[in-house]
Amino acid sequence: MLARFPASVLALGLVSSLGCNQGGQGGQAAAPTDAAEQTEADSAQAEAAVLLLAQAALELEAAVVAEALVAEEAALEAERQASEREPDVIYVPTPEPVVDRMLELAAVREDDVVYDLGCGDGRIVIAAAERYGVKAWGFDIDPVRVSEARENAKAAGVEHLVTIEQQDIFTLDLSPASVITLYLLPELNVRLIPQLEQLKPGSRIVSHDFDMEGVTPRVHETLNLGARDSHEIFLWHTPLNPVPEPAPEPTPQPEWPAPQPPPELEAAPPP
């Protein structure tokens, strides 16, 4: 329980407790008449208070350390589980002009939090931190990519804004983010829909090249970088807007009056 209270609160409680003890039990205890005895009693109470405060501080520190160890073990376990999985896609870097356009379409602001799912070498989160001053997280399951992204963030001088973690993106809580960037396959985008639906209203999701089946994009544009180098960019806002169901085709109505078949002719009797 000590981990729930700051040391200053514990100290205040201890001092208040000592003050109550000094007041006696209902005014029945007689105060020492000798000044030396009074000084000795005050000194003993002060020493006891110091010892209690020191003990409380040690217990508080131990609780904080224990919580930190638990969090560290959980992070290491998440990395271990992620490293046991093969990546879902082959790493292909997003061209820098596409990165710029994705962030422009998402209208990134300084108070945004950017998550790049499958961050590769970290170029999208690094660009977001450099150009918009936002805090950005990159997640990748490949330890090689994670190491490369961390080195790139450090080289760019934005490691105070950029965090790179080795994680399975399909186990992440995406709710802290306000901007999500993707360069995955269409079926993986669809698989993320339940997590994306937990984002705050007004969050933006930008995908390079691949749509999200069943959800209507707010923007779909083509960025041409050369004669044979075009890139599709899709933007969605939350809450996601499902693709409307097609209207049912009308049932054909019979003509009226319905045509009647000719009556069957009876065979003529023999002569």
Is residue 139 within 8 A of residue 116, CB to CB? The reply is: yes
Q: In this predicted structure, what is the pLDDT of residue 59?
A: 87
């691949």: which residue's tokens? 210
Which residue segments constitute the domains of the chain, with CATH numbers given? 9-19+40-84 (no CATH), 96-237 (3.40.50.150)
Structure tokens at 249: 């085709």
Q: In this predicted structure, what is the pLDDT of residue 62?
A: 83
Structure tokens at 236: 């969605």
155: burial class by Cβ within 10 Å (0-12, 13-18, 19+)?
exposed
Instruction: Point out the residues of the chain with pLDDT beneath 50.
Output: 1-5, 7-12, 14-30
Q: In this predicted structure, what is the pLDDT of residue 22?
A: 47
Q: In this predicted structure, what is the pLDDT of residue 75?
A: 62
Give the chain as a DSSP string: -GGGS-HHHHHHHHHHHHHHHHT-STT-SPPPSSHHHHHHHHHHHHHHHHHHHHHHHHHHHHHHHHHHHHHHHHHHHHHHHHHTSPPSS---PPPHHHHHHHHHHTT--TT-EEEEES-TTSHHHHHHHHHH--EEEEEES-HHHHHHHHHHHHHHT-TTTEEEEE--GGG---TT-SEEEE---HHHHHHTHHHHTTSPTT-EEEEES---TTB--SEEEEEEEETTEEEEEEEEESSP-BPPPPPPPPPPPPPSSPPPPPPPPPPPPP-
Between strands 204-208 and 219-226, the pairing is unpaired
Q: In this predicted structure, what is the pLDDT of residue 80?
A: 59
∠114-116-120 over CA atoms, to 5°?
Answer: 140
């186990």: which residue's tokens? 171
